[in-house]
Structure 1
Amino acid sequence: MPTAKIVYASLTGNNEEIADIVGEELEKYGYTVDTTEVSQAMAEDFKDADICVTATYTYSDGDVGILPDESLDFYDDLKATDLKGKVYGCCGSGDHFYDDFATAVDDFDKAFAQAGATKGAENVKIDLAPEDDDIKTLEKFTKQLVEKAQELNA
């Protein structure tokens, strides 16, 4: 049975909800899903998954968007982990009030690329909590991840 690992960072619950939506969609495709909050996760855990997903918020420090403090060690470890043959996707929530809207999503995208993983879908950035249109976007995101994983394993 194919497997997926989702790691999320959430202050307000928005990214936990995003992770749950993606996880439920992956289960519909027959994946066994493990979802973990980032402070409880290790980048090495992605080695045991076919699909790897991060859902994170961006902390704003004035005009600069930065990674959440609780994800810094995980992020550094992710860049150094060999994830060749794995499919990844990055998503997360932000707030359009800030200049650097959801830039941590892009940072995790770069970390996965550095780890040698294969990008399965374009990054998804959601303004605050996911609404109906956002859920549809996350469903499409998940479908693309599954299709890329099937293509890679064909």
Structure 2
Amino acid sequence: MSNILVLYASVSGNTEMMARIIIDTFKNRNVDIDVKVFDEDRIEAKDILQYDGILMGLYTWSGGELPFEVEDFYDGVSDLDLRGKVCGVFGSGDQFYDDFCGAVDIMYEQFEDVGATMIPYKVKVDMDPEGEEIMECQRLAEEVCQLVGKGV
């Protein structure tokens, strides 16, 4: 088992594209990771306790809400103690809405509230990642590697 998890939910494929950039960054650096997708894998919040690093990607639903498939996971995180765990959050949204990538902010705060060591920035992308946004996704993977001792 790897000690880094990339976990994501994607409806339009944009957050999945971000996750793929992150996954490829790990692979290019020969870092073994686990990948879980909310629509494909059974995921419970307590499952993340086995990892030292967690990168979570999600899209924002409607008026800044969490995706429905993430709601139970989010609730379960509130019961965890993530001290000593490194977490980062990324996601896609549409700047048309007032609360751009609000779900990213909500999940970031939840991880922070239960003691996780947070990557000090969130990667938010308007629709699909391009140019600088691709490099931000790569940087997120590199940052978690350094913080969990898997130097890149």
Distance 1:23 1:121 in 2: 20
Q: 1:118-137 to 2 correspondence within 5 Å? A: 118-137=117-136
Q: Does residue 50 in structure 1 map to residue 42 in structure 2?
A: no
Q: Helix, strand or coil for the counterpart of 1:65?
A: coil
Q: 1:78-97 to 2 correspondence within 5 Å? A: 78-97=77-96
- TM-score scaled by length of structure 1: 0.87
What amino acid sits opposite 2:18 in the alignment? I
Unaligned runs of 5+ in 1: none
Q: Does residue 12 in structure 1 map to residue 23 in structure 2?
A: no
Aligned-residue RMSD, C-alpha: 1.8
How far did 1:7 drift?
1.3
Distance 1:23 1:111 in 2: 23
Q: 1:4-43 to 2 correspondence within 5 Å? A: 4-39=4-39, 40-43=42-45
Gap change, CA 1:2 and 1:69, over 3 Å in 2: closer
- TM-score scaled by length of structure 2: 0.88
What amino acid sits opposite 2:101 in the alignment? A
Contact 2:3 2:52 survives alignment (8 Å): yes
Percent identity, please.
35
Distance 1:142 1:16 in 2: 15
Gap change, CA 1:121 and 1:25, over 3 Å in 2: farther
Contact 1:121 1:141 survives alignment (8 Å): no
Unaligned runs of 5+ in 2: none
Distance 1:22 1:12 in 2: 18
Distance 1:26 1:86 in 2: 18
Q: Which has the higher strand share?
A: 1
Contact 1:94 1:101 survives alignment (8 Å): yes
Distance 1:102 1:29 in 2: 29
Distance 1:29 1:114 in 2: 31
How far did 1:145 drift?
1.8
Contact 2:2 2:34 survives alignment (8 Å): no
How far did 1:79 drift?
2.0
How far did 1:9 drift?
1.0
How far did 1:27 drift?
3.0
Please name the residue that 1:103 is paired with: 102
Total equivalences in the alignment: 148
What amino acid sits opposite 2:57 in the alignment? A
Segment drifting more, 100-109 vs 3-12: 3-12
- Tell me the alpha carbon deviations over residues 67-104 of structure 1, each in whole angstroms, 9 at most, x when there is no partner: 11111001111121122111000000000111100010
